[in-house]
Structure 1
């Protein structure tokens, strides 16, 4: 099959529109249409259902799109490896992690990474869904459990525990909070136990809910939980690393703590020699070392 026609087909399938594909490829709509029609004739198959709102892939089109999608990802991987043969650290780096870790821990530290590597472009993809690294949905991942996908290099970075925190303002304005039973006089801010999250956090929240909590605010990520706590709304269940960047938070109910949650960094085996990956990995490890040192210093005081 003609690669130029496949490239045009892939762009149309991805965009769902001849016009949008043409804009991306810098071709006219009529040129795109001719290429698609020629490909359909060569395959003796209809690849798109056409309707007023755009284009929908037929069953045959879905099969071809799966193939061109895989080809594109393989080409991206090859391109990345070729770029990484250079000495300089530059280019695009797609990093995926959870919304909580990405917003509360990683993003505030990225200025240091850019200071070291100003030509690096980071695409930070924050979502709870585990992206497929071998299929190049992302280059590197930081996850709250050990990745199970094959052909990945993985490194345990640190451990996290979920704990209870409140603001000084909230504690001054509300009833005493000495035991979990006192939560019946307070508002609990946490992730919904049915939301996608680590099991240790859901287990902790479920146990706290047995204490007849007076009021509840649930948020689908820890960034939202933190905002509620900072604005004096209640007692929040948050990862312990928030104390580094938000030292005014007060840990309450010291006996309230989740099981240990491991944090792993992972990337595909084929990117083992990637200088972009190495630079990011080393940066994260240095920040973890700094975090641990600060934690030890806080514990001494």
Structure 2
């Protein structure tokens, strides 16, 4: 099998265009087209359906693209391990976590990490979908449940509870609920229970909404819920890690909370000796220690 032809095929399949692939590879469109024709002839198969708007993979093309994608991911992993054999912490680190944790807790703290390692390039991917770490969709993950994938190194970072919060100003104006039944007098701000979120959060939200809540605002991520709370729209259901960073809000009904949600850091076994992973792991661990220490000192636990 001609590895160069496979490399060009992968670029075309990824771009969906001979022209765009040629630009990425610094080759002419005709040169790319010749390589694809040669590959199709060697396989005796048609790899692309050609139409005016670009190229679409055939069934045979999809099979080959799956294989080349796995090859590229394994090559990326090998390159990362070679680079990580050096002492310096540099290069790209792809971090995946949820939108809420990434935007509300992690991103605001990354300045400290960059101060220590200015040559690090972090690609922060915030989404609820669980990326495949062994297939190198990301280098390291922070997940709000214990990872189930094999060949992962995992470390529990902390536990999180969903709680009720509102601004001091809102509660001064509208009153502080003393019982769950009092929530019916307030607007509740939360994620829709059908949206992607941990089950403990959805269960707690469902329980809150059983108390005759007439005014409701749902947002599809916790960053949006927090913004609505900060602007005085009502009482929000939010993870407890936000309290230390936003002194203008206070906890409502302190005895009410979800069951604990474990937060894990995970990365592939093959990156065990990665200097970038170690730097990120130690940074997050230290930040969580300081965060919890401040929470204990202030009584916000």
What's the TM-score once normalised by structure 2's chain length?
A: 0.98
Give the equivalent residue in structure 1 for 2:5: 5
Structure 1 runs (4+) deviating above 2 angstroms are none
Q: 1:293 maps to which residue?
A: 293
Contact kept? 2:84, 2:276, Cα under 8 Å = yes
Higher mean C-alpha displacement, 131-140 vs 173-182: 173-182
Relative to structure 1, is the Cα distance of residues 175 and 292 closer, same or farther in structure 2, using a 3 angstrom cutoff? closer
Correspondence for 2:188: 188
Match for residue 137 of structure 1? 137
Residue 299 of structure 2 aligns to a residue whose secondary structure is: helix
Q: CA deviation at 1:175?
A: 4.1
Map 1:103-118 onto structure 2 (within 5 A). 103-118=103-118
Number of matched residues? 301
Cα distance between partner residues in 2 of 1:68 and 1:267: 23
Q: Which residue of 2 aligns with 1:209?
A: 209
Q: CA deviation at 1:173?
A: 2.4
Q: Does residue 266 of structure 1 match 2:266?
A: yes
Per the TM alignment, residue 176 of structure 1 is displaced from its structure 2 partner at its CA by 4.2
Give the corresponding residue for 1:40: 40
- Once the two structures are superposed, the pairs formed by residues 74-85 of structure 1 within 5 Å of their partners are 74-85=74-85
Q: What is the DSSP-based 3-state SS (H/G/I as helix, E as strand, rest coil) of the residue aligned with 2:211? A: coil
Q: Deviations over 1:261-287 (max 9, x none)?
A: 100000000000000000000000010
How well do the aligned residues superpose, as a CA RMSD in angstroms?
Answer: 1.1
| Greater Cα shift, 172-181 or 279-288 | 172-181
Matched residues in 2 for 1:229 and 1:118: separation?
Answer: 35
Give the structure 2 partner of residue 21 of structure 1.
21
Please report the TM-score for the alignment, with normalisation by the length of structure 1.
Answer: 0.98
Indicate if the aligned counterparts of 1:175 and 1:185 stay in contact, CA closer than 8 A. no
Out of 53-62 and 170-179, give the one that drifted further: 170-179
SS of residue paired to 1:241: helix
Aligned-partner Cα distance in 2 for 1:246–1:112: 19
In structure 2, what is the equivalent of residue 147 of structure 1? Answer: 147
Per-residue Cα deviation, 1:112-170 (whole angstroms, up to 9, x for no partner):
00000000000000000000000000000000000000000000000000000001221
Gaps (5+ residues) in structure 1? Answer: none
Q: Distance in 1 between matches of 2:23 and 2:249?
A: 50
The answer for unaligned runs of 5 or more in structure 2 is none
Aligned partners of 2:176 and 2:252 also within 8 Å: no
* 1:90 aligned residue: 90
Distance 1:291 1:169 in 2: 25
